[in-house]
Chains A and B, each alone.
Chain A
Amino acid sequence: DQQVKQNSPSLSVQEGRISILNCDYTNSMFDYFLWYKKYPAEGPTFLISISSIKDKNEDGRFTVFLNKSAKHLSLHIVPSQPGDSAVYFCAASATGNQFYFGTGTSLTVIP
C-alpha cells in the first residue's frame, strides 16, 4: 500500500506564477520529508527537506509546508521558471534509514 501519495500526476503553470505540488502520507510515524526533482534520463536530485519539528522551510524560490495533523506537505515554487519543468517526488521517512517515495508530479512551466 502506497504510504506516500502524490495525487496529481501532472501540473501546468504559466511562467512567473506559483506552482504548488502536493503530497499526502498515511504513516503518522514519518518525521522527515524531502523533495526531489528529476529531469528525463537523469537521476533525481535533492531539492529541499523538512523535519516534523517545523511547519515551513524555505530555500530561495522553493518553500515546503508541512501540516502534520492533515498528514500533508506541499512544495511551492515562486516564481516558476521554464527550467523548473521536471518530475517532482516527495519522500518520507520515520527513521531516516528507509525513505518512501511518492509517485511523482510532472510539472510543466509554460513560457
Chain B
Amino acid sequence: DADVTQTPRNRITKTGKRIMLECSQTKGHDRMYWYRQDPGLGLRLIYYSFDVKDINKGEISDGYSVSRQAQAKFSLSLESAIPNQTALYFCATSDRTGGALNEQFFGPGTRLTVL
C-alpha cells in the first residue's frame, strides 16, 4: 500500500462549488504539505503543517483552507472553486528529524478541473 494517499485522484467540478481534497499518510511523519502544479510554473506551496496544532500559509494560500484532523490526515478545501484553480494537487510529508535536507514524500496527485 502507498505511504501517502490522496483522494480523489481526479475531480471535475463547477465554479462556485466547495471541494475538499484529502491526504492520508502511514509514514508517521509530523510534517505535511499541499502543493499545486501548473504547466510552466512548477510546484508551489499552498499550506504546510508541522503538527496537528501548527498550520502555516505557503506561497499561494489565497482561496484555499486546510484542516489537520490528525497526525496522519491533512485536507485541502476550496470554499468556492474558480477555473484558475484547475491544476494538479500534491500532498507531501516529511520527518522533522534530520533537519532541512529531509526529503518530502509525495502522494500520487489529484487532478482538479474547475469548469
Q: List the interface of chain A (C-beta within 8 A of B).
A: 2, 4, 6, 31-32, 34, 36, 41-46, 49, 51, 89, 91, 93, 95-104
Contacts and interface: CB of A to CB of B under 8 A. Distances in A.
Given A43-B4, A43-B92, A34 B108 contact: no
Given A34-B103, A49-B103, A93-B100, A98 B43 contact: no
A43 B109 contact: yes
Given A41-B108, A42-B108, A43-B106, A98 B99 contact: no
A98 B42 contact: no
Contacts of B106: 36, 43-45
Contacts of A99: 45, 104
Interface in B37-81: 40-45, 48, 50, 56, 58-59
Given A31-B100, A95-B100, A103-B40, 10 more contacts: A41-B109, A44-B43, A44-B90, A46-B104, A51-B100, A96-B100, A98-B48, A98-B59, A101-B35, A101-B43
Interface of B: 4, 35, 40-45, 48, 50, 56, 58-59, 90, 92, 99-109
A23 to B, nearest CB: 11
B100 A103 contact: no
B82 to A, nearest CB: 23
A30 to B, nearest CB: 10
A89 B43 contact: yes
B92 to A, nearest CB: 7
A89 B44 CA distance: 12
B19 to A, nearest CB: 20
B70 to A, nearest CB: 21
Contacts of B107: 43
9 contacts: A31-B100, A42-B108, A43-B4, A44-B106, A89-B42, A96-B99, A97-B48, A98-B45, A103-B41
A6 B41 CA distance: 10
Contacts of A89: 42-43
